[in-house]
Amino acid sequence: MLGGHEKPLVPQKGLKPMAKKAELLAEAKKLKLDVTDKNTISQIEIAINNAKSDAADAEVAATPVEEVVAVKEVKTAKAGKRSEKALAEAEAKIEKEERKEKGDTSPQSPEAEARVKGPRPVTRPKIERRGKAYRKVAELVEKDKVYSLADALELAVKTNPSKFDASVEVHVKLGVDPRQADQNIRATVSLPNGTGKTIRVAVFAPEADHAGAKKAGADVVGDETFLAQLDKEIVDFDILVATPAYMPRLGKYARLLGPRGLMPNPKSGTVATDVAKATKEAKAGKVEYRVDKQAIVHLSIGKVSFGAKSLAENAKAFFDSLQSQKPTSLKSSYVKSTSLSTTQGPGIKVENVIN
């Protein structure tokens, strides 16, 4: 107790050291402290201060909780963080957090209890929410089995739940980072058996190339008349082919063509000096594919009516093209997973043909 660091008592004016020491010893005796006249005035003062501090702490500890709450209520302010409303909201928030940690979601008021109409609805499995036709063909696909490409294509033909001639789509998850310029995969491939879709090709080129483009099968050919249609936002084509010299004139329509994926691009083969050749390739089944933000490439390789053999030839052409686009800077595996599906059919896991 004599080793405390409390500030010594302020000496009373007019008292001599001996008289002050006698007074301090008398006060220490009342507090039942173990001090004598051999101790200095400073030591006695420190002992008295410590004793008083311990007594005050003991008094607070012995005070009933009700009295402490009453004192707290008396000291509340009229407004601000110490107002009754603010303190009540803080206590309610603490109670809410405690209930949340315990997982207690029971209603806390009669109004809330009245709103509870019944048990929580049970969500059915996704397969049960599908149509009857889908559920029937989904039974043909083993959930965890990885099929060879040939078996997957044969199964895809059988698992078309639609009444129309659905497309067969390939979905390839790549190990690239699309944000890197050298890993942003984008290319074109000519499918041997076409896509099964009627492709409308427009050609924007000088008048000297119009005859060749029409002979190659172009649906829309023009220069000034074509720009007049774009001014009216008339877009009645699927692919636009343009010559390099005419590309600057299309800059005005980038907001119209860009979001639709119709802006000519050298990588996709739609910017060419030989517009007749580019038109023939587009009509014959030359399609563009590119990786999306999730590093997945999606491509339709034909229709269900093609049969497994023709679809396999188209798929081989696509995978050969995709293999040729592998970035040299890629250190991890190029293809992570591959799957097939028809337009509305179930997904079929396929072995990684490229790896």
Mean pLDDT of the region 13-42? 76
My answer on whether 210 and 275 are in the same domain is: yes
Question: Residues 273-276: contacts with CB within 8 Å, 24+ apart?
Answer: 273/243, 273/244, 275/203, 275/205, 275/209, 275/212, 275/213, 275/216, 275/218, 275/241, 275/242, 275/243, 276/209, 276/212, 276/213, 276/215, 276/216
Write out pLDDT tens, residues 110-162: 666 566 566 777 777 777 778 888 888 888 888 888 999 999 999 988 888 88
Buried/exposed 148-182: b ≥16 CB within 10 Å, e otherwise: ebeebbbbbbebbbeeeebbbbbebbbbbebeeee
The total domain count for the chain is: 4
Q: Is 20 helix (H, G, I), strand (E, B) or coil?
A: helix
Which residues span the domain enclosing 80? Answer: 66-115
The model's pTM: 0.57
**Domain presence at residue 261:** yes
Backbone angles phi, psi at 123, to 5 degrees: -85, 125
DSSP state for residue 43 in the 8-state scheme: H
Mean pLDDT of the region 21-34? 81
Assign residue 216 the CATH number of its domain.
Answer: 3.40.50.790
My answer on whether 71 and 219 are in the same domain is: no
Write out pLDDT tens, residues 225-260: 888 888 888 888 888 999 998 898 888 888 988 888
Return d(Cα 314, Cα 319) in angstroms, integer.
Answer: 9
Assign residue 332 the CATH number of its domain.
Answer: 3.30.190.20
Q: What percent of the chain stands above pLDDT 70?
A: 86
Q: What is the pLDDT of residue 75?
A: 61
> Where do the DSSP E strands lie in the chain?
167-174, 186-190, 201-204, 220-222, 239-242, 286-290, 296-303, 335-342, 348-350
My answer on whether 279 and 226 are in the same domain is: yes
Mean pLDDT of the region 58-62? 65
My answer on whether 97 and 236 are in the same domain is: no
